[in-house]
């Protein structure tokens, strides 16, 4: 799939501390560099943050208070205290963790009264390290914040408020930018993204140093089962200095690369740093470990360490018509045969997934109807075809849509990992036709009706009981398992019915609003923020959604998305566009037969 994991780099040259440098990079030993900050390109200027003195109107004062915590986490509590009456401020708790709340109703205030009522739902906690942890399920709660004067002081104060540091999700959107840092997966074969929030108030010259502090800390807790942190005790030895000679300079203590590290450790660290520092891009990187001389890498390859980088600019599109897979016209390679599947076997298909690595192509199809449904797989070198093999085990009947989670380079079909639901439970399979195995996890949320795997092959989102969850796929042991699911709360949806990754840091989510009408949203992976792709697509339930993600190096390109409602498939553009039979290659339209289950070559 496009989510293939890059092969580990074999390093031939050893340097101090057992560090390895790849043959493909130019390496020299250099002296220490300067120590001032480095500016990050394209960083937004922060909006002006309101103060207590700016407005005495009670509703406006409360609204400004719900913005006060945004910014530097070390002084967040002080900014909130500035709005509170002195006696309340003295008892307000310290700390930099901020509850992110969503106002479920407009605030209420009657003229002449002191109270302002807000109804909020806690959707997550923004930690001091930029991680937003989704909140445990809870119902919206009403609070009354009293506003009034304080003897001997001018202006209005908040006299009573909940004893917690909080800000609204809209404040999060206005005062922070999303930044993505990266960790190596547990097999050290690919990078896994970790979305953080950087206050816009952090000067651009300090932002690389902040990113470095995140990397020497811990991954977001939900990623623990899938990634490797830096070695214990890793710390920055100095701030990230100014760019000189188009060179990024990083200094870490000796614990960041312990004696006896494997030969590829330094190269992996370089790649991880270069991805995490984006959009700051330089042609050279110098990494200084402890008291060792800095190691300089010129034009070092790093982009292919992130599977999302290998996404195509324009995806290959397919859809089913009368049980047969067809390419779409004006799609790349529209005149080529359907990958992997022999023409004689391309029939009686209800759902399908096609994927590829740099060496092989993979197919997974569900054939038949009712209790006769079966999962079949095939794999072959690129450009070749192979027979479909029925997957063994108990897979039959109520089968969902298959997805390829990992299709690594190489010739071992057993190394590929696919996922599918049967009777609401998740099963894994490979490309050999061997028996499928139920995926283990300790606290499954219930019947799973939809799932999607991120380009990195480890992060998973799923739908269960009309709710959205995220988890990580652990493939390093004897059994394939999922971590405990975390519920995420996309705004404005009463029920979630379908989900797909549309970038390495965001999701396409379809669901029903409180007015019983369906919409398609682009949602952050923590569920906190959203933009609307399609505002109202009717009352027909959306049963299926698929997307081809945008790339991190070209995020301006909107992801390609499709959904199915009723018997019709729709393209997600500025408005929904129905997929018609005459858009398919080698199809003669038939009355009453519609294109179904559209998908992309992964």
Kindly state the average pLDDT of the residues 470-489. Answer: 94
CB atoms within 10 A of CB 121: 18
pLDDT over 80 at 554, yes or no: yes
Of residues 111 and 21, more confidence is placed in 111
Identify the pLDDT of residue 43: 54
Q: How many helices (H) and strands (E) does the chain have?
A: 6, 41
The share of the chain scoring above pLDDT 70, in percent, equals 93
User: What DSSP string describes 75-98?
Assistant: GHHHHHHTTB-HHHHHHS---S-E
Q: pLDDT-based confidence at 161, cuts 50/70/90?
A: very high
pLDDT band, residue 448 (cuts 50/70/90):
very high
Q: Answer whether residue 8 shows pLDDT above 50.
A: no
Residue 18: per-residue pLDDT: 38
* Cβ neighbours of residue 437 closer than 8 Å, sequence gap 6 or more: 393, 427, 428, 429, 479, 480
Q: How many CB atoms lie within 10 A of CB 580?
A: 13
Q: What is the mean pLDDT of residues 537-551?
A: 98
Q: How many CB atoms lie within 10 A of CB 270?
A: 25
pLDDT at 14 over 50: no
Contacts of residue 347, Cβ cutoff 8 Å, sequence gap at least 6: 323, 324, 367
The pLDDT assigned to 239 comes to 97
The answer on 444 and 562 residing in a single domain is: yes
Number of domains in the chain: 4
DSSP 322: T
Average pLDDT taken over every residue of the chain: 92
Write the burial class of residue 470 (CB in 10 Å: 0-12 exposed, 13-18 middle, 19+ buried).
Answer: buried
pLDDT for the residue 219: 99
Asked whether residue 2 is domain-assigned, the answer is no
The gap from C-alpha 463 to its chain's centroid, in whole angstroms, comes to: 16
What DSSP designation does 170 have? Answer: H
Average pLDDT over residues 511-523: 97
| pLDDT at residue 245 greater than cutoff 80 | yes
Strand-by-strand arrangement of the 530-534 sheet: 495-501, 506-512, 518-524, 530-534
Encode pLDDT of 175-199 as tens digits.
999 999 999 999 999 999 999 999 9
- Using alpha carbons, select from 489, 471, 490 the residue that is nearest to residue 481: 471
On whether residue 523 sits in a domain, the answer given is yes
Contacts of residue 55, Cβ cutoff 8 Å, sequence gap at least 6: 61, 64
Banded model confidence at residue 555, pLDDT cuts 50, 70, 90: confident
Convert the pLDDT of each residue in 378-435 to its tens digit: 999 999 999 999 999 989 989 999 999 999 988 899 999 999 999 999 999 999 999 9
Strand partners, 518: 512
State the pLDDT at residue 31.
35
Burial class (CB in 10 A: 0-12, 13-18, 19+), 240: buried
Q: What is the CA radius of gyration of the chain?
A: 26
CA distance 215 to 204: 18
Same domain? For 37 and 91 the reply is no
CATH number for position 468: 2.120.10.30
In which domain, by residue range, is 588 found?
A: 311-434+580-602
| Residues 426, 342 share a domain | yes
* 234 and 137 part of one domain: no
Distance CA 406, CA 82 (A): 51
Question: Is the domain of 449 the same as that of 552?
Answer: yes
Token pair of 8 as six digits: 């580990």
Would residue 328 count as lying in a domain? yes
Q: Is residue 575 part of a domain?
A: no
Residues 448 and 472 in one domain: yes
Looking at the fold, whether 318 and 302 belong to one and the same domain comes out as no
Amino acid 537: pLDDT: 98
- At residue 6, the pLDDT reads 37
Instruction: Inform me whether the pLDDT recorded for 329 exceeds 50.
Output: yes
**Is the same domain home to 443 and 560?**
yes
State phi, psi for 228 to the nearest 5 degrees.
Answer: -105, 125
Closest CA to 236 of 217, 251, 257, 219: 251
Q: Is the domain of 493 the same as that of 558?
A: yes
Per-residue pLDDT at 42: 53
**Do 549 and 471 reside in the same domain of the chain?**
yes
Count the neighbouring beta carbons within 10 Å of the beta carbon of residue 574. Answer: 8
Instruction: Say how far residue 457 (Cα) sits from the centre of its chain.
Output: 11
Distance CA 69, CA 558 (A): 32
pLDDT digits (tens, 9 = 90+) for 90-146: 999 999 899 999 999 999 999 999 999 999 999 999 999 999 999 988 899 999 999
d(CA 134, CA 147): 30
What's the confidence (pLDDT) of residue 7?
Answer: 34
pLDDT of residue 44: 60
| Domain shared by 87 and 167, yes or no | yes
Last residue of some domain: 126, 157, 175? 175
Within a domain: 1: no
329 within some domain:
yes
What does residue 499 show for φ and ψ, rounded to 5 degrees? -150, 150
- Copy the structure tokens of residue 86: 């002195």
Contacts 24+ apart (CB under 8 A), 175-179: 175/46, 175/47, 175/49, 175/67, 175/70, 175/71, 175/199, 175/200, 175/201, 176/70, 176/200, 177/43, 177/44, 178/505, 178/524, 179/130, 179/207, 179/211
Same domain, 348 and 426: yes
Please tell me the distance from the alpha carbon of residue 258 to that of residue 412, in angstroms, as a whole number.
33
Q: Is residue 189 part of a domain?
A: no
| Residue 364 within a domain | yes
**Helix or strand (DSSP H, E) at 124:** strand 115-126
Identify whether the C-beta of residue 528 lies closer than 8 Å to the C-beta of residue 132.
Answer: yes
CA angle, 407 then 408 then 412, to 5°: 95
Q: Are strands 518-524 and 360-367 parallel, antiparallel or unpaired?
A: unpaired
Torsion of CA 402, 404, 405, 407, to 10 degrees: 160
Q: Is the predicted pLDDT of residue 38 greater than 60, yes or no?
A: no
Q: Please calculate the CA angle 265-270-271 and round it to the nearest 5 degrees.
A: 100
């Amino acid at each position: 799939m496009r989510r293939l994991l890059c092969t580990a780099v074999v390093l031939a040259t050893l340097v101090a501390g057992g560090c390895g440098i790849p043959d493909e990079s130019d390496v020299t030993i250099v002296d220490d560099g300067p120590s001032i900050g480095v500016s990050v390109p394209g960083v937004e200027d922060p909006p002006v943050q309101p103060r207590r003195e700016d407005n005495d109107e009670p509703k406006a004062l409360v609204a400004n208070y719900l913005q006060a915590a945004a910014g530097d986490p070390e002084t967040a509590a002080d900014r909130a205290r500035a709005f509170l009456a002195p006696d309340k401020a003295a008892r307000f708790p310290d700390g930099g963790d901020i509850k992110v709340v969503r106002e479920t109703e407009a605030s209420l205030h009657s003229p002449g009264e002191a109270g302002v009522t807000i109804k909020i739902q806690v959707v997550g906690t923004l930690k001091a390290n930029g991680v937003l942890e989704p909140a445990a399920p809870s119902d919206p709660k009403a609070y009354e914040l009293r506003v009034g004067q304080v003897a001997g002081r001018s202006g209005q104060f908040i006299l009573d408020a909940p004893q917690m540091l909080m800000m609204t999700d809209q404040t999060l959107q206005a005062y922070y930018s999303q930044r993505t840092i990266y960790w190596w997966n547990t097999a050290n074969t690919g990078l896994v993204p970790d979305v953080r929030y950087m206050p816009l108030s952090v000067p651009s010259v300090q932002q690389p140093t902040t990113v470095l502090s995140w990397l020497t800390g811990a991954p977001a807790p939900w990623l623990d089962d899938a990634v490797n942190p830096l070695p214990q005790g890793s710390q920055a030895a100095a701030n990230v200095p100014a760019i000189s000679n188009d060179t990024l300079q990083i200094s870490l203590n000796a614990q960041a690369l312990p004696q006896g590290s494997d030969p590829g450790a330094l190269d992996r660290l370089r790649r991880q740093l270069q991805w995490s520092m984006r959009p700051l891009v330089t042609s050279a990187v110098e990494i200084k470990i402890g008291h060792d001389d800095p190691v300089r890498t010129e034009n070092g390859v790093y982009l292919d360490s992130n599977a999302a980088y290998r996404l195509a600019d324009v995806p290959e599109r397919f859809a089913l018509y009368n049980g047969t897979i067809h390419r779409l016209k004006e799609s790349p390679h529209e005149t080529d045969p359907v990958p992997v599947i022999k023409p004689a076997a391309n029939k009686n298909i209800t759902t399908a997934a096609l994927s590829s690595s740099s060496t092989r192509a993979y197919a997974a199809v569900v054939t038949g109807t009712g209790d006769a449904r079966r999962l079949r797989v095939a794999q072959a070198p690129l450009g070749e075809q192979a027979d479909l093999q029925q997957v063994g085990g108990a897979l039959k009947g109520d089968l969902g849509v298959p997805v390829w989670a990992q299709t690594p380079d190489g010739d071992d079909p057993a190394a590929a990992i696919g996922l599918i639901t049967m009777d609401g439970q998740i099963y894994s399979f490979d490309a050999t036709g061997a028996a499928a195995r139920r995926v283990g996890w300790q606290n499954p949320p219930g019947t799973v009706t939809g799932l999607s795997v991120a380009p990195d092959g480890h992060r998973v989102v799923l739908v269960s009981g009309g709710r959205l969850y995220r988890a990580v796929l652990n493939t390093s042991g004897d059994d394939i398992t999922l971590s405990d699911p975390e519920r995420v709360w996309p705004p404005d949806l009463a029920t979630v019915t379908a989900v797909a990754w549309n970038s390495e840091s965001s999701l396409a989510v379809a669901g029903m609003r409180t007015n019983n009408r369906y919409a398609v949203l682009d949602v952050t992976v923590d569920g906190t923020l959203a933009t609307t792709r399609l505002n109202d697509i009717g009352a027909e339930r959306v049963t299926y959604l698929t997307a081809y993600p945008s790339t991190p190096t070209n995020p301006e390109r909107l992801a390609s998305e499709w959904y199915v409602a009723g018997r019709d498939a729709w393209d997600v553009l500025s408005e929904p566009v129905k997929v018609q039979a005459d858009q398919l290659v080698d199809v003669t339209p038939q009355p009453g037969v519609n294109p179904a289950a559209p998908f992309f070559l992964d």
